[in-house]
Amino acid sequence: MRRLQALWASRTHREQIMLIGLGLLITMVVVWYGVIQPVRYWQDSAAFERQAAEARLLRVTRQIEYARAHAQTGTNARSTLEQAARQAGVQVQIATSGSGLGFELDRIPSESGRAFLVYLERAKLSPKALRIDAYEDGTLRISGQTG
């Protein structure tokens, strides 16, 4: 330790100031590249991973909501079709066909047909197939199949 003190004392004041400045510069570079840059990198990568996880969570949540909204099959779809017909003030004929339900409304006013379809849309029951035929007297025949 005495040797280091003797070496320091043998330097001029100007050399001592330059050595202190050089030591501070080297210390700042080591702190910048050894501490600050790695921490910033870890923060950025953590933020990216968090955003990716949030995006995956949002996508899965939307898929679950979509599945719940469109999972109307069997008696649930039948009751939705019957409720839509009641709301529109018409009679619906429902039959089981394949993996879903077939439905038919015959000779109904166009306003009632529109009301029936709007109710199905609001109830999130989307038909796989839909056919609308217009008669010359202005009435409609609507037939379709749910999934």
Separation in Å, CA 19 to CA 1, 7, 22? 18, 12, 5
- Whether 69 has a pLDDT exceeding 80, the answer reads no
Contact 85, 116 (CB under 8 A): yes
SS3 98: coil
**Model confidence, pTM:** 0.51
Which pLDDT band, with edges at 50, 70 and 90, does 76 fall under?
A: confident
Q: What is the pLDDT of residues 85-138, one digit of tens each?
A: 999 999 999 998 777 889 999 999 999 999 999 998 888 788 888 999 999 898
- Whether 71 has a pLDDT exceeding 80, the answer reads no
Question: In terms of DSSP H, where are the helices of the chain?
Answer: 2-9, 13-31, 37-69, 75-88, 110-122
32: amino acid identity, one letter: W
Long-range contacts from 13-17, C-beta under 8 angstroms, 24+ separation: none
pLDDT of residue 41: 92
Question: Residue 124: how many CB atoms within 10 A of its CB?
Answer: 13
pLDDT of residue 68: 64
147: amino acid identity, one letter: G
Cα gap 48→45, rounded to integer Å: 5
Structure-block tokens of residue 81: 């079709």
Which pLDDT band, with edges at 50, 70 and 90, does 47 fall under?
A: confident
Structure-block tokens of residue 142: 């609507």
- Whether 73 has a pLDDT exceeding 70, the answer reads no
- Whether 14 has a pLDDT exceeding 90, the answer reads yes
